[in-house]
A and B are shown apart, each in its own frame.
Chain A
Amino acid sequence: METLTIKETISGVLESTLEHTNFEMHDELTAKDVDGWDSLSHMIIITKIEKAFNIKFKLRDLNKLKNMGSLVSVIQSKI
């Protein structure tokens, strides 16, 4: 899948979970930069992303998701 398509899907998940679009999708984007992306919404976001791409993260994957770039590449490795 194209990186761009993946990012669009993630962006949609963020928007629907956090109910705002005050973020720009770039590789260095981290949870800290996005309003409302805390440890609780993180769980929700991860679950929705798993669903959207029909993948399942391993426990070890979760620590690798440091920024948007790494999130996209972990997803790419699974689809």
Chain B
Amino acid sequence: MNLTLEIQSSIITNYKNNAFYISNTYYTYEDLAQTISNIRHAIKKNTKKTECFVGLITNDDIYTYASIIALWMEGKAYVPLNPDFPEDRNLAVIKQADIVTVLDSSSKKVFNNLNSIMTENLNDSDIDLNPTEISNEDFAYIFFTSGTTGTPKGVPITFGNLSGFMEAQWALDYIITENDRCLQMFELTFDLSVVSYLAPILKGACIYTIPKEEIKYSYIFELMEDHELTYSLMVPSILHYLRPYFDEINCPSMKFSLFCGEALPLDVTEEWSKCIPNATIANVYGPTECTIYCMDYTYKRNDENKTHNGVLTIGKDMINTSTIIVDDDDNEVETGKEGELCLSGIQLTPGYWRNEEKNKQVFFNKHYKGKETRFYRTGDLCYADKDGDVLYLGRVDFQAKIQGFRVELSEIEFHVKASLNKINTVAVAFTNDIQNTEIGLVIESEPIDTKELIQKLNEKLPKYMIPTQIKFISSFPLNSNGKTDRNKLTKLFTE
């Protein structure tokens, strides 16, 4: 598929349809086409042909989304820069990606020392949606994720990667048409945002965004009810926030409800299914390195669903990805045995940006099905059952070693949740004053008596897996990707 040509054709076909609903305002595909053309004209005038990566200030407005399409039509990649992130972090990204130009829709420039193209008040130019010729190796975006050494790690994704993803997405049969109303809840520095705007644009559907100042979960609920959303991709944390209000939610219009980015517990999913009685619910999985997501499981209503420690399976690989589960020496493990999940296929990034050391650590070649294949180590501990469904056990690095024993933190969480009816909880491993690893438990509630809980845990778990400290917090902090911020929770025990 040729992505930019398909975007062009969808925009033109759906000219009179609504493309976006942002802060109580609708924008048609015609408005989008005009805005893209205006920005494209400014890009042509103000950047060099050789500039590959252009910074994008991630505001929530039509100019910012149009900027992405305009850059792609010009064969350039975008690098999202969140104006609310610490300046040092943004500057590190700008330096790594050699960014000279930034597209900025703010009323006041975010970066004074860069070539800022202010996209908000440009004059109308002729509509120009003919994309320049783009090869599969050209970059579409780079997303920077936190690196263990403190410097952000760049994951470049090519147009070939992205086309491969879209092809696999359509093959899932979670159908979007020009009549659909789709949720886009993600900050643009998180790659789940890409499918949330791109899939609807390719079908002429309408995209509903969350204004930055709104409380995400309650705003999502209002969009779902008031605008009868039909398609949504969310992180499971949103469900944990909505759970106390599930009895107020009834959205029969929802057709597809996808989850990604975190473990999806079966019990919450079951309760959620009653709020969206007509929807297909799916658990999709994948790291940024393999373009958005690459594995999929469709939840079965009124039937058995596979779980491990209460977490729903991530199912099977999508059509453009092959998965294997390996031991420390890159050898495939037997069915049912745990190991690290590795991914290959056309969605796989060419490698971290200018980080050969890291590339050597996580990418490897292996003879697979008759040919030399490049694989990526996800850092996710999994096993596959006899049907080939993959069950997620936790991060390789969430795995703590306590007194020499391997401890799976998700297992502790599972037993705590089973004991405390419906209360959310996170187990963390932290290093204490004497540099030993201890297990801390954070419970999302007002302080409660935990004597009985500990007693029950002692019945289920070996001594070394019993949390040594317990903290209460009335709601879990989220990181900028909307996931439970485990680092912050860990700090409760170390600061």
Contact = CB atoms under 8 A, between A and B. Distances in A.
Contact of B475 (A32, A43, A62): A43
A59 interface: yes
B475 A44 contact: yes
B240 to A, nearest CB: 11
A63 B248 contact: no
A43 B446 CA distance: 12
B474 A47 contact: yes
Interface string A4-44: 00000000000000000000000000001000000110111
Interface stretch (B7-15, B40-48, B218-226, B254-262): B218-226
Interface in B223-245: 241-242, 245
Given A43-B475, A44-B474, A47-B474, A59 B248 contact: yes
Contacts of B303: none
Given A39-B478, A40-B475, A58-B245, A63 B218 contact: yes
Given A39-B478, A43-B475, A60 B213 contact: no
Given A47-B474, A59-B249, A60-B248, A42 B242 contact: no
Contacts of B478: 39-40
Interface residues of B, number: 18
Nearest to A45: B474
B214 interface: yes
A71 to B, nearest CB: 13
Given A32-B213, A39-B216, A59 B242 contact: yes
B211 to A, nearest CB: 11
B434 interface: no
A63 B328 CA distance: 49
Interface in B284-306: none
A58 B215 contact: no
B477 interface: yes
Contacts of B214: 63
Chain A interface main SS type: helix
Nearest to B246: A59
B215 A60 contact: no
Contacts of A60: 218, 221-222, 248
A40 B215 CA distance: 10
A63 B477 contact: no
B16 to A, nearest CB: 30
Contacts of B475: 40, 43-44, 47
Interface string A36-79: 00011011100100000000001110110000000000000000
B218 A59 contact: yes
A13 B62 CA distance: 38
Nearest to B213: A32
Nearest to B221: A59
Interface in B470-494: 474-475, 477-478
Given A39-B215, A39-B216, A63 B222 contact: yes
Interface of B: 213-216, 218-219, 221-222, 241-242, 245, 248-249, 446, 474-475, 477-478
Interface of A: 32, 39-40, 42-44, 47, 58-60, 62-63
Given A44-B475, A59-B218, 20 more contacts: A39-B216, A39-B478, A40-B475, A40-B477, A40-B478, A42-B215, A43-B241, A43-B474, A43-B475, A47-B446, A58-B248, A59-B221, A59-B245, A59-B248, A60-B218, A60-B222, A60-B248, A62-B218, A63-B214, A63-B215
26 contacts: A39-B215, A39-B478, A40-B477, A42-B215, A43-B241, A43-B474, A43-B475, A44-B475, A47-B446, A47-B474, A47-B475, A58-B245, A58-B248, A59-B218, A59-B221, A59-B242, A59-B248, A59-B249, A60-B222, A60-B248, A62-B215, A62-B218, A63-B214, A63-B215, A63-B218, A63-B219
